[in-house]
């Protein structure tokens, strides 16, 4: 899953708490899931690097 997908998933997960579906029985589990996903995203963001590719073409010609 891409970082953007994970962020979207996290946003959906946090929205649940403010929705009509919210209930205290599930809240703890849902919060733990969101917390772990947040940690995962933070780790991904720290580790992800951009890939630089110099095009092998002479534009002077």
Partner 1 sequence: MDLTPRFSVSEFLEVVNQTLNYAFPTVEIEGEVSSIKTSKNKWVFFDLKDEESTVNCFTTVFQLRTPPEEGMKIVVRGTPHLTKAGRFSITIQKIMPVGEGSIKKAFEMLKEKLSKEGLFNPAKKRPIPDNLQTIGIISSTTAAGYADFCRILNNRWGGLTLKVANCGVQGLSASDEICKALDYFNEEGAVDIIAIVRGGGSKDDLAVFNDESLARKIASSRIPIITGIGHEIDESLADLAADIRASTPTNAAEMLTRDKVAEIANIHDNLSHVAQFIVHYTDTLKSTNISAITSISGIIEARIENAKNELRNQQKLLLSLNPEHVLKQGYAILSGNLSPGSKITITTHDKLIEAKVENVHKR
By CB under 8 A, name the binding residues for partner 1. 2-4, 7, 10-11, 14, 17-18, 22, 24, 27, 31, 34-35, 38, 41-42, 45-55, 57, 59-60
The minimum distance between CB 21 and partner 1, in angstroms, equals 13
Distance separating alpha carbons of residues 31 and 56, to the nearest angstrom? 49
The minimum distance between CB 20 and partner 1, in angstroms, equals 13
The minimum distance between CB 10 and partner 1, in angstroms, equals 7
Residue 30: name the closest of 45, 10, 48, 50 by CA.
10
Distance separating alpha carbons of residues 4 and 32, to the nearest angstrom? 20
């Amino acid at each position: 899953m891409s970082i953007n997908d994970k962020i979207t998933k996290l946003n959906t997960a946090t929205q649940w708490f403010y929705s009509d579906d919210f209930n205290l029985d599930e809240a703890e589990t849902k919060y733990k899931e969101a917390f772990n996903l947040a940690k995962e995203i933070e780790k991904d963001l720290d580790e992800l690097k951009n890939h630089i590719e110099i095009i092998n073409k002479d534009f002077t010609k």
